[in-house]
Amino acid sequence: DNARLDNNAKKQNVGAARTAKEADSRNFYSMMQRASANLNKLTGGTLNEQTGLTEPGYNPANATDTFVSEIPLFGNAMSNEKKQLATQAQRMWVRAKLRDESGAAIGEKEMLDEISTFFPEFGEGEAVIKQKKESREAAEAAMLMATGVGYEPPPLPGGENVFDAANAIIGN
List pLDDT tens digits, range 62-101.
666 666 555 555 555 556 777 888 889 999 999 999 888 8
Tell me the per-residue pLDDT of 19-52, one tens digit each, with 9 for 90 and over: 888 888 888 988 998 888 888 888 776 666 776 6
Tell me the per-residue pLDDT of 117-127, one tens digit each, with 9 for 90 and over: 999 888 888 89
Query: What is the maximum span of the chain, computed from C-alpha positions, in angstroms?
Result: 56
pTM, two decimals, is 0.68
Tell me the per-residue pLDDT of 141-171, one tens digit each, with 9 for 90 and over: 999 888 887 777 777 766 554 444 333 333 3
The pLDDT value recorded for residue 72 is 54
DSSP, residue by residue, 70-86: --GGGGGGGS-HHHHHH
